[in-house]
Copies of this chain bind each other. A is one copy, B any other.
Amino acid sequence: MVGQHHRLFDTESPHLETKFRGHTKPELDARSIHRKRSFQCLRHPVSPIDCSPNHTRGWSSALKYAPTRHSYRQVVNQYRKELSVDLYELTMSQVFWRRGMDSSATFSLFFRGYPKDRAYYIASGIDDALDFLEDFHFSADEIRAIRNVTPLSDEFVDFLTDFSFSGTVRAVPEGSIVFAAEPLIEVTGTLIETQIVETMLLNIVTTASLLATKAARIVQAADGRPVVDFGSRRTHGEDAAIEAARASYISGFAGTSNVKAAALHGIPAYGTMAHSFIQAFDNEVTAFAPYADEFPETTTFLVDTYDTLDGVRNAIRVAEQARSRGTNVNAIRLDSGDLAELARAARALMDEAGFPQIRIMASGGLDEHSISQLVASCAPIDAFGVGTRFGTSADAPYIDSVYKLVEIDGRPVIKLSTSKVTKPWAKQVFRRFEDGMMRGDVITRSTS
């Protein structure tokens, strides 16, 4: 239980109001941006607009209400992923159902092209997607929710009550290297069962492949040095934190800081210490010493809270104490400043003090580009911790993933929209190697 909730900007504690004359506390909420038009410091300005009076037509009114308060815990527990369906999957399905359209359809999930700098993908989330399909159905709770918030007919919702996925799936193995336009998953079944799974199938495979691909690039840049996932605090939600840990481990990371991911997926859990830990003590030596006592052998000292090289000297002092007790300090961590320069200076200090075995970990806004530079500069860094830029795939935060109808009742299907033409037929992919190198893929019509 939280003892008390006070709110910054509180409008209900008048004693604060009188303290700073001439200032008032804001009573704004987000919606007031639009209602009051009182806020104009968007750096990409919206220019004044003078359009013909009829260019906007009425639309159902909105912008008025904040969402219902609904417990954060319930979001996780009450409904499963089946309900995270785009409404149109359900409305389209009702039309198929009403018309008795039970044709056999094949949908193909693939990536349209590459984001900047990318030239391959690591297909991931495949096993999760299969799990999702295998147990796809709506619970009584979910059916009730569908009845409440959608325009579906009662009869069709009755049909959904007994609905489960019974189609056929072909997919590449989890962790495969794949290229643009190649199918990762192909789903065959009735129009309804192949259409209704689209939203989450795309979500699962896109998220995991995005993160696995980013991780593979980072592992390649680190050129053999271990990399650990520190991204959980800034991934887009907790799902993504767990997926970042799992997908990156598949791509070659050494482990993760996320304890839940470690428990769920058997991934090694790693951790160092935070600046706040150092600050909770009088100085670095009194902070480092008890940590080394508590976790001999696995201790990594964060040395940049005040002055990095002083921090290294303090780490050495505590390592000497540990040595006198017969234990070792594992590593130091550099989290800011010129990492290459600081690593060289720290290495020299530790080697000189007789600690060549204490390793150096670097972190702080790293990605494959900065890691590649550090490695190329021969900075004596032994391991990397990557957080935000990895966990959000910051330079390329999405993949242009699609799930397209390619075959229906044995006839090919094609879409012609501008710059979005798709290839017909269910497909098979053949890969050619020469001297252990990939030489090219052939995408053909599937004959299986």
Contact B62 A268 (CB under 8 A): yes
Contact with B along A183-226 (1 / 0, CB 8 A): 11110000100010011101110110011100011011101111
**A324 in contact (CB, < 8 A):** no
Contact B2 A130 (CB under 8 A): yes
A394-448 interface with B by 8 A CB criterion: 394, 397-401, 403-405, 408, 413-420, 427-433, 436-438, 442, 444, 447-448
Minimum distance in angstroms from A60 CB to a CB of chain B = 7
Contact B91 A432 (CB under 8 A): no
Select one of B94, B131, B417 contacting A73, CB under 8 A.
B131
**A369 in contact (CB, < 8 A):** yes
Contact B164 A1 (CB under 8 A): yes
The quantity of this chain's copies bound in the complex is 2
How many of A's residues come within 8 Å of B, CB to CB?
250
Minimum distance in angstroms from A338 CB to a CB of chain B = 8
Contact A271 B91 (CB under 8 A): yes
Residue of B nearest to A94 (CB): B294
Contact A86 B257 (CB under 8 A): yes
**A345 in contact (CB, < 8 A):** no
Contact A31 B252 (CB under 8 A): yes
Residue of B nearest to A400 (CB): B388
- Whole-angstrom CA separation of A357 from B359 in the bound complex: 70
Contact A274 B92 (CB under 8 A): yes
A343-374 interface with B by 8 A CB criterion: 356-357, 359, 368-369, 372
Contact A304 B417 (CB under 8 A): yes
**List of B residues within 8 angstroms of A266 by Cβ:** 65, 67-68, 70
A277-336 interface with B by 8 A CB criterion: 277, 279-280, 290-291, 294-295, 298, 304-308, 335-336
Contact A92 B273 (CB under 8 A): yes
**A128 in contact (CB, < 8 A):** yes
Contact B249 A240 (CB under 8 A): no
**A386 in contact (CB, < 8 A):** no
Contact with B along A144-157 (1 / 0, CB 8 A): 01101111010000
Contact A203 B20 (CB under 8 A): no
Minimum distance in angstroms from A123 CB to a CB of chain B = 8
Residue of B nearest to A116 (CB): B43
Contact A9 B176 (CB under 8 A): yes
**List of B residues within 8 angstroms of A42 by Cβ:** 119-120, 217, 220
**A30 in contact (CB, < 8 A):** yes
Contact B30 A175 (CB under 8 A): yes
Contact A237 B232 (CB under 8 A): no
Contact with B along A232-249 (1 / 0, CB 8 A): 111111111111001001
Minimum distance in angstroms from A355 CB to a CB of chain B = 11
- Given known pairs A8-B183, A26-B431, A203-B234, the reply for A44 and B117 (CB within 8 Å) is yes
Residue of B nearest to A415 (CB): B275
Select one of B24, B246, B393 contacting A67, CB under 8 A.
B246
Minimum distance in angstroms from A268 CB to a CB of chain B = 7
Contact B234 A237 (CB under 8 A): no
- Given known pairs A177-B30, A253-B62, the reply for A264 and B95 (CB within 8 Å) is no
**Residue picked from A5, A107, A204, A403, most chain B C-beta under 10 Å:** A5
Select one of B237, B382, B419 contacting A239, CB under 8 A.
B237
Select one of B170, B258, B265 contacting A68, CB under 8 A.
B265
A3-54 interface with B by 8 A CB criterion: 3-10, 13, 16, 19-20, 22-26, 28-34, 36, 38-44, 46-47, 49, 51-52, 54
Residue of B nearest to A34 (CB): B252
**List of B residues within 8 angstroms of A81 by Cβ:** 76, 238
**List of B residues within 8 angstroms of A43 by Cβ:** 117-119
Minimum distance in angstroms from A43 CB to a CB of chain B = 5
Q: List 12 A-B contacts (CB under 8 A).
A: A42-B220, A63-B226, A70-B264, A84-B242, A86-B232, A99-B290, A234-B401, A236-B236, A237-B240, A237-B243, A279-B405, A306-B416
Given contacts A1-B166, A5-B130, A308-B417, 16 further A-B contacts (CB under 8 A): A29-B250, A36-B436, A38-B436, A42-B220, A43-B117, A46-B372, A52-B378, A59-B382, A62-B252, A63-B252, A86-B258, A91-B271, A149-B269, A207-B236, A236-B240, A394-B398
